[in-house]
Amino acid sequence: MSTVTCIAPVNIAVIKYWGKRDETLILPANDSISASLDTDQLCAKTTVMASPNFKEDQIWLNGQKEDIRNPRLQNCLAECIMLFLVRKRAGNVTQIGQWKVHICSENNFPTAAGLASSAAGYACLIASLANLYEIKGDISSIARVGSGSACRSVLGGFVKWSMGSLSDGTDSIAKQIAPPTHWPEMRVLILVVNDAKKKFPSSVGMKRTMETSDLLKHRIKHVVPERVNKMERAIMEKDFKTFAEHTMKDSNQMHAVCLDSYPPFTYMNEISHVLVDLVHLYNEAVNDTKVAYTFDAGPNATLYLLEENTPEFMGVLDYFFPPLEDTLVEYKKGLPIEAAKPSKSLLNKINAKQQSPGRFKYIIYTQIGDGPKVLEDS
């Protein structure tokens, strides 16, 4: 028997992937850029065992046994395709390549955190299988077949996924722009508004947007290419203002193309929008751009901000979104941080008291981190 265990990070895009040029190969309609988050706070952990005694491939997700062949199970097909691809890619299909595998995958954060975990999960599966089958070189194109955004989680730091132009997708791969050590001051706050399951899966949403949105055509052709260049430069130069502006604009445009789809659909809710207003009011009040928000296919916010600005903004958050008794505040046991009481004059400038924003269920404070790591090998 051969066993490998890996962990892999969650990644949060600052230039969003929204729309596919090829649905089967999962080839995106535009380039995207993300940051991989520290695995201490958030990660997927996968163990893959291969044995001549196993009768069939099997998979357990978060402790629950799933039927790998059941076509109704989400991503089942992708798992099988990936297993096949990984084995084929291994080339020297020796004995181990013939053995059936048992896969056990879980997250180190509760599903109640309502975070998209499929990117970390698929990246982790592929990293484990690649290690088991001794696959060298790029593995992002294999992870991509499981879930597009997963290809960015096979690397740490800031990562760019190029859409590529070839029809077989061989040039649609992810590459690191900068390691996590490049911008060590960068911090991330994840504010979980809602932990319910996605009401509209992103793959279904993307398809509808591709088919019906005129704004998406404009985005793909006239907005993203230039924005990707500016974002890469902002990251290399550690220019937070430019980084933040494009992060927010790109999130807004992704949600705008969802609304421009026909029929339209939305992911953000009232609390998400109040938070957007608060970030802009805060940036205006401090006469700078100190905080950036971004939203994926759900109402939960991810905020990018620098360490030096975090205590003040957390004080502002506590003031306008007082934590509930049972709010799970992960930052208290994560990185060291204390919210600073905001000054009266700052609160007066923000002056958003009239809004009744609601609450967060879960807050995570983290930073940029490494790519997948092998934990044990036997």
- DSSP E strands, the chain: 2-9, 11-15, 20-22, 27-28, 32-36, 43-51, 58-61, 64-66, 100-107, 158-161, 174-178, 186-192, 291-295, 301-306, 328-329, 362-367, 373-377
| Cα separation, 124 vs 371, whole angstroms | 10
| Cα separation, 81 vs 83, whole angstroms | 6
- Nearest approach in angstroms of CB 81 to ligand DP6 is 13
Residue from 79, 106, 296, 370 touching ligand DP6 (CB under 6 A): that is 296
Residue from 36, 117, 149, 247 touching ligand DP6 (CB under 6 A): that is 149
- Nearest approach in angstroms of CB 14 to ligand DP6 is 9
Site for ligand DP6 in 98-127 (CB under 6 A): 118-119
**83: part of which helix (H) or strand (E)?**
helix 76-89
Contact yes or no for 34/178 (Cβ under 8 A): no
Asked if 141 interacts with ligand DP6 (CB under 6 A), we say no
Asked if 203 interacts with ligand DP6 (CB under 6 A), we say yes
- Nearest approach in angstroms of CB 89 to ligand DP6 is 20
Asked if 32 interacts with ligand DP6 (CB under 6 A), we say yes
Closest CA to 103 of 44, 145, 149: 44
Choose the stretch contacting ligand DP6; rule: CB under 6 A; options: 62-70, 100-108, 133-141, 144-152: 144-152
Asked if 17 interacts with ligand DP6 (CB under 6 A), we say yes
Taking CB atoms, the residue at the shortest distance from ligand DP6 is 148
CB burial class (10 A; 0-12, 13-18, 19+) of residue 306?
middle
Choose the stretch contacting ligand DP6; rule: CB under 6 A; options: 142-150, 224-232, 342-350, 356-364: 142-150
Site for ligand DP6 in 206-225 (CB under 6 A): none
Asked if 16 interacts with ligand DP6 (CB under 6 A), we say yes
373 strand-pairing partners: 7
Task: Please report, as ranges, the residues that interact with ligand DP6 according to CB under 6 A.
Answer: 13, 16-17, 26, 32, 118-119, 147-149, 202-203, 296-297
